[in-house]
Chains A and B, each alone.
Chain A
Amino acid sequence: MSPDRRPLRVLVAKPGLDGHDKGAKVIAAILRDAGCEVIYTGLHQTPADVARAAVQEDVDVLGLSFLSGVHLALTAATIELLRAAGCRAVVVVGGNIPTRDIPALEELGVAAVFPGGTSYTEIVTWFDAHSHVIAG
């Protein structure tokens, strides 16, 4: 990230019962090293837990990480609660996301989807390219 901008505040969240969070933790560490302020929720979060944390922490970006296939319903629920609480954070989704579900996620208002196999460099590049818009 360019040093002349304020750092992006990012919440990395792991909604649902699945406990595989290597991807979530690695991306949190990589974004932190790229200059973001990163908070990770830990495991087993409900959409309400995630939305509450996003509001409390006043984040610019909310990253949702999924493996078990529940991304559509939990992303929809999280975004609904987020907007109801007046939070305008940009939402991105990563993990085991089939190509066929990407349009549906975008329809829900997800700004970017990083399916399995996306390189971390690509993700950091996306954050860099969008940080001025996101941070206003």
Chain B
Amino acid sequence: MTAGHRRGLRASVGQPALQHCREFQVSQASWPSRANIATSGVSHTESGIPIDPRWALPDAPGAPPPPGEFPFVRGIRAGGYSNRPWTFRQYAGFGSGEDANERFRYLVDQGQNGLSVALDLPTQMGLDSDDDRAQLEVGRLGVAIDTVEDMERLFAGIPIETISTSFTINATAPVILAMYVLVADRRGIGREQLSGTVQNDILKEFVARGAYLYPPAPSLRLCADVIEFCARELPRFNPISIASAHIKSAGATPVVADGLMLANGVEYARAVVNRGIAFDRFGGRLSFLTSSYRDVFESIARFRACRQVWAAIARDQFGATDPRAMQFRFHAGGDIDAMTFEEPVNNVARMALNAFAGGAGGCQSMQLPCYDEPYEIPTEEAVLNALRVQQIVALESGLRAVPDPFAGSYFIEGLTDRIAGDFRQILGDIEAGGGALRWIETGRTQAVIGNEARVWEERVDSGADIRVADNFQRSADDRSRDRIQVHHGDPESARRQVSRLAEWRDTRDSSPMDRFIATLEAVARDGGNVMQPLVDALDAGATVGETSAALERCFGRFRAPVTV
């Protein structure tokens, strides 16, 4: 067979796979054998075909710029995951500091390379564990943190100077970050070495999830205090994770949820820029949390569109000049709302699709919901399974070989453009209505989400959206609800937490603490940055509840208008 003959065959048959087989027969020497395939699994396909990491129609008319170049639609890094996959970060935390610490160490031993702290509801709501309103909730959905000693127990034996830690905390984000900084200070670790994230996305709490304390405007100001403090002292720390996942869970469609997330991002950036801080100084540390949902292709296109639109906002609206400050960096969650009670093992398949979309969409870190999460916070077995799903998708599927592997697909490119247009429309409407804060204060955002929630629930109810084993092929005798082994909290650990706190209150010297609390209040009233006064008050023995109460005395408590 001549070379010309082979070219003719390619043209007439048009089946590259067949062509490879024929080429293989004539020139085996030019093809790697199984033994020669690089063990990384990154530079060759499963059959040994060498992969050019830049493979992507670079010359096609209208093709987006390559990965790593503005507007980063194809990813923020030129090499994608070729050097390392995304950060595997499963959400964990329950009981007291030592209970959660044990789970953390277990996950790190299993190859998890970042921590994600779940805090209990009292800590999220600024209540100490001995508060009447905290009863029943201490250590239930997350770990209970009252004092800096609790935080020290949580991170005992964990090298916080090298491992990054994400805290899902919003209303009390300034307090929790101040405690983490204090742990580093006490260990002699430089603040500049700390890496991680505080969610600190208070605007979405008013429209979804509901863990707010103070009214929206002072809440936004506290959020900006955290961003400003990190820009000055914690250069490796993400001071915010601007989230759409909760907005979607509250009922918005994925595209609307991401549009609202971007609008919140604009509001936060404006609050910080208005303090005279250049966007380039903090833009590179703004991070986002959006999730993969049921539709794999829409999810991938959504992530691409987010990058594209955010880069333009950073450059054109906020005058960013540093490319890093224009990059939309995101943590990919999964679709907790798609998980079914029925036959919960099936949820693992949903998790794998979520993970694939997150990876193909170029996330920086990922957490998946666990298969038992419709029931309870996950068991150790279920968390390990979620971590393994991430590892399988990242390391076994070939997803790391090429950044943005769906680039050039008519479908994905078209969908990306369409979604980017939808985002611009949402952003334009919100700006025209006075911005995200104004929309939230007047209940407009809540109304949009509420209406969409209703539509979505009716689609599920009617079976228009298929949920296998739930509204489709539901088994009449599924015994999952009776059989599943779920997490059981240890009531003893809540009692221990309360008695430890009582001892803390009895033994501390309260006079320096009272002075620091007074300073905190004065700074809060004068409009100064509350972060260092918080660190000082906590160092002097103040609790999460006491510092939150001090801020409440300055800002008041928010009572949401009830909208149905």
Interface residues of A (CB under 8 A from B): 16-22, 25-26, 28-30, 32, 38, 40-44, 46, 68-70, 73-74, 96, 98-100, 115-117, 119-121
Checking A17, A22, A115 against B250 with a beta-carbon cut-off of 8 angstroms, the contacting residue is: A22
Q: How far is the CA of A18 from the CA of B142 in the complex (A)?
A: 12
Query: With A73-B136, A117-B340 as given contacts, are A26 and B209 in contact (CB-CB < 8 Å)?
Result: no
**Please, which residues of chain B bring their CB within 8 A of the CB of A119?**
460-461, 471
Q: Are B482 and A99 in contact (CB under 8 A)?
A: yes
B560 within 8 A of A: yes
Q: Are A116 and B210 in contact (CB under 8 A)?
A: no
Nearest residue in A to B479 (C-beta to C-beta)? Answer: A99
Checking A19, A70, A96, A121 against B209 with a beta-carbon cut-off of 8 angstroms, the contacting residue is: A19
Q: Are B141 and A68 in contact (CB under 8 A)?
A: yes
Q: Are A17 and B137 in contact (CB under 8 A)?
A: yes
Q: How far is the CA of A68 from the CA of B120 in the complex (A)?
A: 10
Q: Are A98 and B453 in contact (CB under 8 A)?
A: no
Q: How far is the CB of A32 from chain B (nearest CB, A)?
A: 7
B95 within 8 A of A: no
Q: How far is the CA of A116 from the CA of B212 in the complex (A)?
A: 25
B450 within 8 A of A: yes
Q: Contact string, B458-481, partner A, CB cutoff 8 A, digits 1/0?
A: 101100000000110000000001
Query: With A17-B122, A98-B481 as given contacts, are A30 and B454 in contact (CB-CB < 8 Å)?
Result: yes
Q: How far is the CB of A94 from chain B (nearest CB, A)?
A: 13
**Please, which residues of chain A bring their CB within 8 A of the CB of B212?**
19
B211 within 8 A of A: yes
Q: Contact string, B132-154, partner A, CB cutoff 8 A, digits 1/0?
A: 01111100110000000000000
B539 within 8 A of A: no
Checking B140, B453, B562 against A22 with a beta-carbon cut-off of 8 angstroms, the contacting residue is: B453
Query: With A40-B564, A99-B482, A116-B341 as given contacts, are A17 and B461 in contact (CB-CB < 8 Å)?
Result: no
Q: Are B560 and A26 in contact (CB under 8 A)?
A: no
Interface residues of B (CB under 8 A from A): 121-122, 124-125, 127, 133-137, 140-141, 205, 209-212, 249-251, 340-342, 374-376, 450, 453-454, 457-458, 460-461, 470-471, 481-482, 486, 559-560, 562-564
Q: How far is the CA of A30 from the CA of B251 in the complex (A)?
A: 15
Q: Are A117 and B205 in contact (CB under 8 A)?
A: no
Checking B133, B134, B251 against A26 with a beta-carbon cut-off of 8 angstroms, the contacting residue is: B251
Q: How far is the CA of A41 from the CA of B560 in the complex (A)?
A: 10
**Please, which residues of chain B bring their CB within 8 A of the CB of A38?**
564
Q: How far is the CB of B242 from chain A (nearest CB, A)?
A: 18
Q: How far is the CA of A120 from the CA of B76 in the complex (A)?
A: 43
Q: Are A99 and B481 in contact (CB under 8 A)?
A: yes
Q: How far is the CB of B456 from chain A (nearest CB, A)?
A: 9
**Please, which residues of chain A bring their CB within 8 A of the CB of B137?**
16-17, 68, 70
**Please, which residues of chain A bring their CB within 8 A of the CB of B250?**
20, 22
**Please, which residues of chain B bring their CB within 8 A of the CB of A32?**
564
**Please, which residues of chain A bring their CB within 8 A of the CB of B471?**
119
Nearest residue in A to B480 (C-beta to C-beta)? Answer: A99
Nearest residue in A to B341 (C-beta to C-beta)? Answer: A117
Q: Which 10 A-B pairs have the closest CB atoms?
A: A19-B210, A17-B121, A42-B562, A99-B481, A70-B136, A28-B564, A43-B210, A117-B341, A119-B461, A40-B564
**Which of A25, A29, A70: most chain B Cβ within 10 A?**
A25
Q: Are B209 and A25 in contact (CB under 8 A)?
A: no
10 contacts between A and B (CB under 8 A): A18-B210, A19-B210, A22-B249, A25-B563, A42-B560, A42-B562, A70-B136, A74-B136, A96-B375, A120-B458
Q: Are B461 and A29 in contact (CB under 8 A)?
A: no
Q: How far is the CB of B333 from chain A (nearest CB, A)?
A: 15
Q: How far is the CA of A124 from the CA of B210 in the complex (A)?
A: 26
**Which of A20, A29, A41, A44: most chain B Cβ within 10 A?**
A44
**Please, which residues of chain B bring their CB within 8 A of the CB of A43?**
210, 560
Checking A30, A69, A115, A117 against B470 with a beta-carbon cut-off of 8 angstroms, the contacting residue is: A117
Nearest residue in B to A23 (C-beta to C-beta)? Answer: B457
**Which of B251, B482, B564: most chain A Cβ within 10 A?**
B564
Nearest residue in A to B375 (C-beta to C-beta)? Answer: A98
**Please, which residues of chain A bring their CB within 8 A of the CB of B341?**
115-117
Query: With A18-B121, A68-B121, A70-B137 as given contacts, are A29 and B205 in contact (CB-CB < 8 Å)?
Result: no
Checking A21, A99, A120 against B210 with a beta-carbon cut-off of 8 angstroms, the contacting residue is: A21
Nearest residue in B to A42 (C-beta to C-beta)? Answer: B562
**Please, which residues of chain B bring their CB within 8 A of the CB of A21?**
210
Q: Are B450 and A29 in contact (CB under 8 A)?
A: yes
14 A-B pairs besides A38-B564, A73-B135, A117-B470 with CB distance below 8 A are A16-B136, A17-B125, A17-B134, A18-B141, A18-B210, A19-B205, A19-B211, A25-B450, A29-B454, A41-B562, A68-B121, A68-B141, A96-B374, A116-B374
